[in-house]
Structure 1
Amino acid sequence: MTAVEDVFHEGGPRSDKPLRRGTIAAVIANPFAGAYVEDIAPFMETLKPLGLSLAQQLLKTLDVPVSEIESYGKGAIVGANGELEHGALWHVPGGYAMRELLGWKSSDSSESGQPDNALAIVPSTKKVGGIGASLDVPLTHINAIYVRSHFDAVEVRIPDGPRADEIVVVLAMGTGARVHARVGGLAASDISQWDGLR
């Protein structure tokens, strides 16, 4: 399920260019539902193609160039027969898919001398919930986690999921700061460290 939202204002002056936020969610079977399994980490490798596919589909749905994506986040809702750790399996497949799609290559600068894009860790949230549970997915700046204007969240809900043996996995992207951001902190234009933080 995909959703796109254009935010022109939140009670203040109307912006000429709206903030566009989008989410994509997929419902998958939880292979570990109903039992404690010690070694679950290999499932992350299984989820990597899904992560890349969802990231590509979300970018296409947002209908903006890669260069306009300024924030991202991810999350998971685990059905009642699963555990919170099953949602953590989405960290690598979801996060790295978006980072690579948006230009991250390595921790070093690219050959062109310009820093890579999508340097910041992708924020995340997860919970165990029943059918129709909602999840507030955090958003932060793709290159510097300390850019306060981009601290945001989007709500996601699948009306008929997750069932007890399912997991809802979510990716989110946005094109900018909150429309009326004005509480100071590091500005996106002042990113200087290119270390994912500042």
Structure 2
Amino acid sequence: MIHLVEEERSREGIKADPPLRKAVVAAVIHNPYAGRYHADLSEGVEFSVGLGRIMGEMALETLGEPILSYGKGGIAGIDGSQEHAVMFLSTAFANPLRQAMGGGVAWMSSATIVAVAGTPITLPLAHKDALYVRDNYDAITLHPGDAPRPDEVLVAVAVANRGRPNARMGGLAASDVEGVDGLR
């Protein structure tokens, strides 16, 4: 497992109160489909259910405070395909992930790529209950070192405790979120 935490205490000379904390939890998994085409990826999707729960618990623990923004992503090693990263990030993964992190009704944005070991991936972040909260549009970049190898998939979850410091682009305020439809 990979754990990354970033904390930003000020931006543009203005104190961030509270500080913006972003965290990433990533798992590196053997890709049973590497090297050949498979039409049915359901075994990987089924595996992702338990993975989502575990990674949600770890993301909450790593951030150390309530989660307000989330996102996900994956890197398939070069013997895999982009679909192999996507299979671990479907709704089957995301629903138990959300539950373990304390809820969330908004669609969880994601990024997936095929790359050599050590390729960085930038994970998108958005408000967990309302995509129209522009202040929470953000990202965090993971530099995974020696992963994924050609027959592996790196699965990552990104979380944050708040929106961007000094955000001023308008849109729905976090304090006005209804949290019913995932948009408002």
Both structures adopt the same fold (TM-score exceeding 0.5) = yes
Cα shift readout 1:147-170 (whole Å, capped 9, x = no counterpart): 100000010121001111110000
Q: 1:42 deviation in Å?
A: 2.8
Q: Distance in 1 between matches of 2:162 and 2:135?
A: 8
**Would you say 1:180 and 2:179 are equivalent positions?**
no
Tell whether the 8 Å contact from 1:162 to 1:168 is kept in structure 2 after alignment. yes
Partner of 1:48: 49
Q: How far apart are residue 17 of structure 1 and its match?
A: 1.5
Residue type of the alignment partner of 2:30: A
* Conservation of the 8 A alpha-carbon contact between 1:75 and 1:90: no
In structure 1, runs of 5+ residues without a counterpart are: 105-117
Q: How far apart, CA to CA, are the structure 1 residues paired with 2:95 and 2:64?
A: 21
Kindly report which structure 2 residues correspond to 1:41-190, keeping only aligned pairs within 5 A, or say none: 41-64=42-65, 68-91=66-89, 92-104=91-103, 118-190=104-176
Q: What is the root-mean-square deviation of aligned Cα atoms in Å?
A: 1.4
The one-letter code matched in structure 1 to 2:117 is I
- The answer (yes or no) to whether the contact 2:57–2:101 under 8 Å persists in 1 is no
Equivalent pair of 1:76/1:167 in contact (CA under 8 Å): yes
- Number of the residue aligned with 1:192: 178
Distance 1:87 1:126 in 2: 6
More strand by share: 2
Scaled by the length of structure 2, the TM-score of the pair is 0.93
User: C-alpha offsets along residues 126-155 of structure 1, whole Å, 9 cap, x if unaligned?
Assistant: 000101011110000000011100000010
The 8 Å contact of residues 44 and 88 in structure 2, kept in 1 or not, is answered as: no
Encode CA deviations 1:17-73: one digit per residue, 9 max, x unaligned: 201110001111110000001101232111221221121112112222xxx311000
Gaps of at least 5 residues in structure 2 are none
Native 8 Å contact 1:69 1:175 kept in 2: yes
Equivalent in the alignment of 1:27: 28
Q: Is the 2:85–2:113 contact (alpha carbons within 8 Å) kept by the matching residues of 1?
A: yes
Distance 2:105 2:59 in 1: 19
In 2: Cα distance, 1:173 partner to 1:86 partner: 22
Amino acid at match of 1:192: E
Q: TM-score scaled to structure 1, two decimals?
A: 0.87
Q: 1:149 to 1:89 in 2, by over 3 A?
A: same
Q: Is the 8 A contact 1:52 1:93 kept in 2?
A: no
* Secondary structure at the counterpart of residue 29 of structure 2: strand
The alpha-carbon deviation at position 12 of structure 1 amounts to: 3.0
Give the fraction of aligned pairs with identical amino acids, expressed as a percent: 38
Name the CA shift for 1:71/1:193 in 2 (closer, same or farther; >3 Å).
closer
Deviation at 1:93, TM superposition (A): 4.5
SS at match of 2:75: strand
